[in-house]
Amino acid sequence: MSRVATQSDRNVFIELWSEFLVEHRKHGSFILPTERTLKHFLGLFDDYTQCRKIGVTAISDCDHAIGMWGSVTADGSSPYDSDYPCTVYGHGTYVRPAYRRKGLSLGLWKRAEKLLRKRGVNAAIGSTIMANSHLRPMGEGRGFKPLQSVEIKVF
């Protein structure tokens, strides 16, 4: 079971998201697990819990898992015209190691998707770290289909 986070979950968010950023970096993410990075995501958490932007943070019972999905604009609209006018982005999902492969992450997503649909969101965009091989099956299990890949050239 899970709950939709409120402002009273701020400390839980900070704790779990800090762990997430460290592990995500180990899997090859270019996002550094710094105070500034955490502040950025905490800002999104605040935007979603205070309804300044469309989004949701879901936390599992006993605070073992967290996931956050949301828009970058106030009404969820895309900043450019697109096939998906009201889109949210997957900011991350993290399950503490001892609690993995029990369906917690899937449970968080189902909870979030239900709520986002009610708010008029019609698409969710996620990204996959190529080196993290289990993310593709996880995305497919949630109904995500590969659409385009992101490329990077470092100067």
Ligand X SMILES: CC(C)(COP(=O)(O)OP(=O)(O)OC[C@H]1O[C@@H](n2cnc3c(N)ncnc32)[C@H](O)[C@@H]1OP(=O)(O)O)[C@@H](O)C(=O)NCCC(=O)NCCS
The binding site for ligand X (CB under 6 A) comprises: 20, 23-24, 27, 92-95, 100-106, 132, 134-135, 137-138, 141
Give the nearer residue to ligand X in terms of CB position, either 77 or 132.
Answer: 132
The nearest distance, CB 25 to ligand X, in angstroms, is 10
| Amino acid letter, 41 | F
CA dist., res. 102 & res. 122, Å (int): 28
The nearest distance, CB 65 to ligand X, in angstroms, is 6
Give the nearer residue to ligand X in terms of CB position, either 103 or 120.
Answer: 103
The nearest distance, CB 152 to ligand X, in angstroms, is 17
Residue of 60, 82, 83 lying closest to 9 (CA atoms): 60
Token pair 């604009």 is found at 73
- For 138, the enclosing helix (H) or strand (E) is helix 135-141
Give the nearer residue to ligand X in terms of CB position, either 26 or 51.
Answer: 26
101 conformational bin, left if phi > 0, alpha if psi -120 to 50, beta if neither: left
The nearest distance, CB 81 to ligand X, in angstroms, is 27
The nearest distance, CB 155 to ligand X, in angstroms, is 26
CA dist., res. 61 & res. 120, Å (int): 27
Give the nearer residue to ligand X in terms of CB position, either 64 or 85.
Answer: 64
Give the nearer residue to ligand X in terms of CB position, either 42 or 135.
Answer: 135
CA dist., res. 64 & res. 102, Å (int): 11
